[in-house]
């Protein structure tokens, strides 16, 4: 059963290239399918290019979901990354 968490995107420039790269890199560390959803549009959370197509700006709600062996760890780690502004600021 998939795990899901909703997290506000508070980074001042939104989900830009560096942030998307960190998200995809972190997602790739887990044995789980990761999906990122913004405003009803879902993409593969392990693909930088797909993440960038979301055009997620500051203030939007990100829905992070994962399904697989490490689903809980993946969602928790990715939610923490977003809350910590991708290690920036």
Query: Residue-wise over 28-67: b if at least 16 C-beta within 10 A, else e?
Result: eebebbbbbbbeeeebebbbbebbbebebeeeeebebbbe
List residues with catalytic annotation: 16
- Beta-ladder partners of 44: 35
Q: Are 46 and 27 in contact (CB under 8 A)?
A: yes
Domain ranges of the chain: 3-87
Whole-prediction pTM value? 0.94
Q: Give the class (CATH, top level) of 3-87.
A: alpha beta
- Per-residue pLDDT reduced to its tens digit, 37-77: 999 999 999 999 999 999 999 999 999 999 999 999 999 99
């Amino acid at each position: 059963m998939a795990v899901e968490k909703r997290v506000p995107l508070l980074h001042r420039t939104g989900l830009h290239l560096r942030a998307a790269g960190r998200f995809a890199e972190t997602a790739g560390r887990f044995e789980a399918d990761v999906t990122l959803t913004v405003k009803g549009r879902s993409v593969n959370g392990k693909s930088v290019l797909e993440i960038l197509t979301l055009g997620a700006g500051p203030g939007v709600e990100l829905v992070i979901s994962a399904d697989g062996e490490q689903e809980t760890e993946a969602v928790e780690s990715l939610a923490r990354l977003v809350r910590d502004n991708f290690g920036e600021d």
